[in-house]
Each structure stands twice: as structure tokens, then as C-alpha cells.
């Protein structure tokens, strides 16, 4: 099978997945009853009965459920995702997504890069020097990473690195937000909730506007949440990489490579590692999705204005528009991550690409 055929097939398989995703989100919110759906649209200063009748008509709540789903899907496809009314933002869901998603993506990608850059070489080295000191230490760290709850770790890190009363010597990082409040004041391209224009990613916007202090400040602000987020994934990736590499090193083709007289470096990097990466790549996608779960907790802990913070606000405030919007976005990211993993997998492993 050609790679292009493979991609087309894989894309076609996405369609039922996406329908399933929207259907589940739709049914979950509808299960909450009419009041839950309309509550966030109500204006306490206007008569209740009139508003309710209008909202029921707007959302087709008296129609059969599949008709409601039809209108919901039409709305989704036309970009009409409803409204959200939370403490940090009030307005159309689509606008909220465009404001918050870039920050979250930035945070996850940085965390993901930190995790991969540390975990893959560590896992590899662990496997090559099995049972050595390096191996033991990295396995211990991995064990700690898997066992620690993320909120507790976040607490510890912020106490150590960002609380002058606890550790004045190590108080080198900011505690919350995306940029220092003092720098933010009066800057026209940053709005009231701390989201910048035009890309909504503070680092990039700072560079666009040539504001270096804000740029560096934003980097300092992303370190703690990203490191916390990364730490939990490092453990998983490293353990997979180690196991996979140990197996790969015991294969016959590694023996062949050694007997060919290849330097050990080449044997490990060229012959063993690429094979070892194949199973690791599959779980990377899932771990990236796992990061998103961590994002919700971490953004809340560090008051980092992103999807996570908004999600928590929406859930606490029974904001149906926000809940549906964030759930669909997270779902889409998960599906996309899996899709990309499948493509990567086909690209790395010729047996998948060409095998029927």
C-alpha cells in the first residue's frame, strides 16, 4: 500500500470517530436537563418564563433528540458553538477557544519537548548500560515521577522556587500568570485577562512587538508549569524507551551490526534506536493526550490563562457552553494526536507503510 493510500484511508476512518465524539458530548450535556443547558444564558434582570421559552425554542429543546443533535451539528459546523459566561471570559465559545487554546498548546508543546528530550536519551542510556548506576538513578527518578500526584508536585515546586517566605535563596521563578503584572500594565496589545494579540501566544507576540522584557518574563513564567507537566510524562516515556531498547539490543540484526565491525555508537544509534523508537512513538501520542489532562490541573494551580483554567471555571459555574466547547476541543486534540502518531508510525516502520 502506498503512503498516500494509507493516509486517505486513515482520514476516512477519522469521520466516524469525530461523529462519535460530538455525539457523546452532546448526549452528556443533554442528560443534565433543560435547566442546565439554558442556565448560563439567563439574565436575572428579565422575566424567567419568557427567557426560558425563547431559549427552548432556540435550542429546539422540545424536538426529538436526533433533531436537536442535527441542529447542534449544524451549529458546530457553522462556527456557532454557543456562549460561555465564566469569571475569566464571557462571550462566544469560539472566541474563548481562540484566546485560550494557543497558550495551552504552547504550554503542552514545551512540556512535551522537555519530556521527550530528557526521557528518550535517558531511556536509551539506561538500556545500553543496564543495571549500572545511570540506569538505577534514572529508574528511581522515573518511579518517583510516576508515583507523585501532579498537584502535590506543583505545590512543592512553587513553594521551593517561587515563594520568598519558604525559600528566599531559591525564589527565582514567578508563581503564576503568563507575564509579570508590572510589565503588562498599559501595554496595548495585552488584554485584561492577560492574553496577548495577535497570535495570543505571549512569547511570539512579544517578539512581534519587539518587547524583550515581556518576552523573557513570559519564558520565566512558563518554566514551572511546563516542568511540572513534563515530569509526570518523563517517567512513562523513559520506561517504555528502556524496555524497547533492551529488546532491540538483543535482536539478531544488532549482532549482525556488531560483527560487521560497526562502532558501538553506530550500532546503538543507527541500528538499535530506530527500531526501539517504533513502539515508543505510538505511546508518545497517548502521552501527549495525557498531558492535556494534566493541563487542566496545572493551569488552574499556576493561574495560567489557557483552556485548562477556562475548563475549571466552566465546570464550577455550570457553564454548559464552555463545558461542551472545551470537551470537544480536547477530544479533537486527542484524535489528531493519534492520527499524527499513526502517520509517524507508518513513516518510521516500512512494514506498516507497505504491508497489506
Measured CA to CA, the distance from residue 179 to residue 304 in angstroms comes to 10
Measured CA to CA, the distance from residue 263 to residue 133 in angstroms comes to 23
Which of 1/28 has CB closer to another protein? 1
Choose one: 85-93, 204-212, 251-259, 282-290; the region binding another protein (CB under 8 A).
251-259
Choose one: 163-171, 196-204, 245-253, 297-305; the region binding another protein (CB under 8 A).
245-253
Applying CB under 8 A, among 20, 32, 75, 263 the residue interacting with another protein is: 263
**Residue 71: all three cell numbers together:** 441542529
**Minimum distance from CB of 285 to another protein (Å)?**
19
Measured CA to CA, the distance from residue 343 to residue 18 in angstroms comes to 18
Applying CB under 8 A, among 12, 50, 77, 169 the residue interacting with another protein is: 12
Instruction: Tell me whether the omega of the peptide bond preceding residue 198 falls within 30 degrees of 0, making it cis.
Output: yes
Cβ atoms of 325 and 178 within 8 Å: the answer is no
Applying CB under 8 A, among 141, 208, 262, 343 the residue interacting with another protein is: 262
Assess 348 for contact with another protein (CB under 8 A).
Answer: yes
**Residue 241: all three cell numbers together:** 524507551
Which of 140/347 has CB closer to another protein? 347
Residues paired with 41 in a beta bridge: none
Eight-class DSSP state of 190: B
Distances (CA, A) of 63 to 40, 60, 66, 71, 92: 21, 6, 8, 10, 24
Applying CB under 8 A, among 144, 255, 269, 332 the residue interacting with another protein is: 255
Measured CA to CA, the distance from residue 354 to residue 207 in angstroms comes to 44
Assess 257 for contact with another protein (CB under 8 A).
Answer: yes
Assess 17 for contact with another protein (CB under 8 A).
Answer: no
**Minimum distance from CB of 241 to another protein (Å)?**
16
Eight-class DSSP state of 268: I
Assess 14 for contact with another protein (CB under 8 A).
Answer: no
Applying CB under 8 A, among 278, 315, 340, 343 the residue interacting with another protein is: 278
Q: Report the interface residues with another protein, using CB under 8 A.
A: 9, 12-13, 251-253, 255-263, 266, 271, 274-275, 278, 348-351, 354-356
Amino acid at each position: 500500500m502506498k503512503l498516500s493510500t494509507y493516509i486517505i484511508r486513515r482520514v476516512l476512518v477519522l469521520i466516524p470517530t469525530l461523529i462519535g465524539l460530538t455525539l457523546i458530548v452532546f448526549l452528556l450535556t443533554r442528560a443534565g436537563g433543560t435547566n442546565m443547558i439554558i442556565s448560563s444564558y439567563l439574565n436575572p434582570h428579565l422575566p424567567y418564563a419568557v427567557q426560558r421559552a425563547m431559549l427552548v425554542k432556540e435550542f429546539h429543546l422540545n424536538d426529538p433528540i436526533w433533531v436537536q443533535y442535527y441542529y447542534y451539528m449544524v451549529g458546530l459546523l457553522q462556527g456557532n458553538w454557543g456562549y460561555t459566561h465564566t469569571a475569566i471570559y464571557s462571550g462566544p465559545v469560539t472566541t474563548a477557544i481562540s484566546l485560550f487554546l494557543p497558550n495551552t498548546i504552547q504550554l503542552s508543546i514545551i512540556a512535551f519537548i522537555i519530556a521527550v528530550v530528557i526521557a528518550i536519551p535517558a531511556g536509551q542510556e539506561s538500556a545500553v548500560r543496564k543495571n549500572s548506576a545511570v540506569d538505577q538513578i534514572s529508574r528511581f527518578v522515573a518511579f518517583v515521577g510516576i508515583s507523585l500526584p501532579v498537584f502535590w508536585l506543583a505545590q512543592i515546586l512553587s513553594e521551593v522556587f517561587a515563594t520568598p517566605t519558604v525559600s528566599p535563596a531559591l525564589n527565582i521563578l514567578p508563581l503564576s500568570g503568563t507575564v509579570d503584572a508590572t510589565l503588562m500594565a498599559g501595554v496595548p496589545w495585552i488584554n485584561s485577562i492577560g492574553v496577548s494579540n495577535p497570535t495570543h501566544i505571549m512569547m511570539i507576540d512579544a517578539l512581534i512587538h519587539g518587547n524583550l522584557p515581556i518576552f523573557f518574563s513570559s519564558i520565566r513564567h512558563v518554566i514551572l508549569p511546563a516542568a511540572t507537566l513534563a515530569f509526570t510524562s518523563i517517567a512513562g516515556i523513559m520506561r517504555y524507551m528502556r524496555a524497547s531498547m533492551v529488546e532491540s539490543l538483543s535482536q539478531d540484526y544488532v549482532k549482525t551490526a556488531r560483527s560487521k565491525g560497526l562502532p558501538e555508537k553506530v550500532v546503538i544509534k543507527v541500528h538499535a534506536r530506530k527500531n526501539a523508537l517504533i513502539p515508543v512513538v505510538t505511546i508518545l501520542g497517548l502521552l501527549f493526550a495525557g498531558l492535556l489532562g494534566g493541563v487542566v490541573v496545572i493551569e488552574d494551580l499556576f493561574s495560567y490563562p489557557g483552556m485548562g483554567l477556562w475548563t475549571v471555571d466552566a465546570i464550577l459555574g455550570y457553564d454548559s457552553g464552555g463545558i461542551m466547547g472545551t470537551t470537544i476541543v480536547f477530544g479533537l486534540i486527542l484524535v489528531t494526536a493519534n492520527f499524527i502518531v499513526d502517520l509517524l508510525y507508518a513513516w518510521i516502520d516500512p512494514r506498516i507503510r507497505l504491508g497489506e
